[in-house]
Structure 1
């Protein structure tokens, strides 16, 4: 009976541990604004993304300018040049970080994309701050006010519904409770076990498997994300870049879990051998 109870508690501990680790990663890297900005900020320096961004911004700003045909041939090249050089502007890093903060708010913080859409259902990139930088740069060269496009959001990928985003965010925010429950189950498993060294080693093996699963999943993230987006241009480039960053981050996050599991296995084996020796003596 004790062996069965210990096994049940151990299984619950491992399931809850997997849930807690998943939740804490999502919370720190996606739900929390600071983590999301830190995760996605390096994409702003990627040459491929910068080229796609400049092309998209040029089209958006030119399209919203409403230029008369008589001066369009003169003004459009200046706007295009401003868009091409925006990533080399001193104000670009700040504008890009602000873009990520606005995009995070739209997607994860429940800020409506439009008055009739209170619950977002897609990952959206709001290029407003960078588009404003392009308009200001072009306006300074022309000596006129170049309007910022009224809608600067780019849909990166859609979900089944905004409720899914909310559910993930709320669950991830409770990772401490899930981790506490996992710890309690692990402790109960050890307390009820007949062979605690063996039980600890098995728990360690389970933790190692969880870490290895995270490592494997990290390798599938880029392809899965691109397939989910199913678009082209700036959205596809951003999705590919962000998915690559997520994969690297998730793999790095999984490594300490594997190491911790290995340590638990080692301690469990030592305890098992020590207890066996005492029993024989």
Structure 2
């Protein structure tokens, strides 16, 4: 009876960990505005994103003026995106898009066709563009929206993720606490603490490995959504997704390391207990 209870508790703990880990990552890096902005700022350091953003900025300047020297503007844009001010301004642009999606409070983040957009006017207003735009007698509008996707799914509509933004922190913390409580109960119920430490380590290893597999599967599905974007926007989205994927991998690696550590500790504890009983 005790073995069955221990096994049941271990299974529940493993399932809870499989839910708690990705939920905590999503809350910290996607649902939380500051976390998402930090992720975008980190992605902005990638040369591939800088190149794509420079190309997009060049395109938008060309639309604002009729006699623009594309080569000159392209050089200025490349200098700007590789400069110190770009990552912060790119993160700010993503903050506005995030608020629109999670709170529906930034109406300027959606165009007349209902597409999800980011406003790059602050970027074009940077001092790096000031002299060049003045030479072409271009005044930057208060908003320069560029669509992130032409055929946005329902999940990318104004305020579509409002509930996640409201209740996400509570769910994340709640799952973490419940997982910890069940892990302690599992250790308490188990006949052998050492073996159960090994079992909990195996849980962390299983969750980490399963997470890696789930990311690979999910990336294929996500690529289908990203196919709604083309050109420079698709290149930018790819870098953002890759940055997020690397961050998820780091969390899963921590799970694998902690799991391996628990297995080692559990084996050592079991050996020490066996030696103590034999003497």
Which TM-score band applies after superposition, normalised by the shorter structure?
0.7 to 0.9
Match of residue 173 from structure 1: 169
Given that residues 77 and 129 in structure 2 are in contact (C-alpha distance below 8 angstroms), is that contact kept between their aligned partners in structure 1?
no
Q: Is the Cα–Cα contact under 8 Å of residues 18 and 207 in structure 2 kept in the other structure?
A: yes
Higher deviation after alignment, 262-271 or 180-189: 262-271
Other-structure match for 1:98: 92
- Corresponding position of 2:54: 54
CA distance in 2, matches of 1:220, 1:128: 36
Separation (CA, whole Å) in 2 of partners of 1:83 and 1:227: 30
* Residue in 2 that maps onto 1:69: none
Q: 1:226 aligns to what?
A: 223
Cα distance in 1 for partners of 2:86, 2:242 equals 22
Post-superposition Cα deviations, 1:64-85, rounded to whole Å, max 9, x if no partner, equal: 45xxxxxx3xx3227x733541
- Pick closer, same or farther for the CA change 1:109–1:83 going to 2, 3 Å: farther
1:194 partner SS:
coil
CA distance in 1, matches of 2:143, 2:246: 35
**What is the 5 A alignment of 1:79-118?**
81-82=72-73, 84-89=75-80, 91-114=85-108
Gaps of 5+ in 1: 66-71
Give the whole-Å Cα distance in 1 for the aligned partners of 2:109 and 2:89: 25
Give the alignment's TM-score, normalised by structure 1: 0.79
In structure 2, stretches of 5+ residues that fail to align are none
Residue 147 of structure 2 aligns with which residue?
A: 154
Whole-Å separation in 2 of the counterparts to 1:47 and 1:197: 49
Q: Quick one: structure 1 residues 251 and 126, their matched pair in 2 at CA, closer, same or farther if it must change by over 3 Å?
A: same
Change (3 A) 1:197 1:109: same
Structure 2-normalised TM-score?
0.80
Residue-pair matches, total: 268
Query: Which residues in structure 2 correspond to 1:1-281 (within 5 Å)?
Result: 1-64=1-64, 72=66, 75-77=67-69, 81-82=72-73, 84-89=75-80, 91-114=85-108, 124-133=117-126, 136-142=130-136, 144-148=137-141, 150-156=143-149, 158-161=152-155, 162=157, 165-170=161-166, 172-174=168-170, 175-220=172-217, 222-230=219-227, 231-281=229-279
Deviations 1:83-137 (CA, angstroms, capped at 9, x unpaired): 54124136544432322332332333443445999xxx98643323223348744
Shift of 1:186: 1.1
Decide whether aligned partners of structure 1 residues 184 and 94 sit closer, same or farther in structure 2, where only a CA change above 3 A counts.
Answer: closer
CA contact (8 A) 1:226 1:239 kept: no
RMSD (Å), alpha carbons: 3.2
